[in-house]
Amino acid sequence: MALLRAAVAAIPNVASAPAPEISLLDFQPQGPVIAVRPYTHNDHYWQVYFDTNKLIREIFGAAGYPTPERHYVMRNSA
């Protein structure tokens, strides 16, 4: 989350006030759910949206975090 805080703030057109919010929302079987909320003017919404998603992928990939996966166990009771 610390890596994201500084990097998201550096994305072009992200507002400095209010500062981007990076927070832990939940724990799931696949891993933690993190909310990343940069603020911007409506004119730049899609640019900031896509740049933020790209940045998350790059930072987490460079850190070596695995891609979340769902695993299912199927049992036959017969």
Span between the terminal Cα atoms of the chain, in Å = 46
Give residue 57's region: left, alpha or beta (phi > 0; psi -120 to 50).
alpha
This prediction has a pTM of 0.79
Q: Would you state the pLDDT for residue 34? A: 92
Per the structure block, which two tokens stand in for 23? 């927070």
Using the predicted structure, report yes or no on whether residue 78 has a pLDDT greater than 80. Answer: no
- Per residue in 24-68, pLDDT (tens digit) is 999 988 788 999 999 999 999 999 999 999 999 999 999 898 887
Q: Would you state the pLDDT for residue 7? A: 94
Using the predicted structure, report yes or no on whether residue 1 has a pLDDT greater than 90. Answer: no
Q: Would you state the pLDDT for residue 68? A: 77
Q: Would you state the pLDDT for residue 38? A: 96
Omega before residue 18 within 30° of 0, cis: yes
Task: Look at residues 51, 43, 58, 57 and name the one whose alpha carbon lies nearest to residue 12.
Answer: 51
Per the CB < 8 A criterion, the answer to whether 49 and 8 are in contact is no
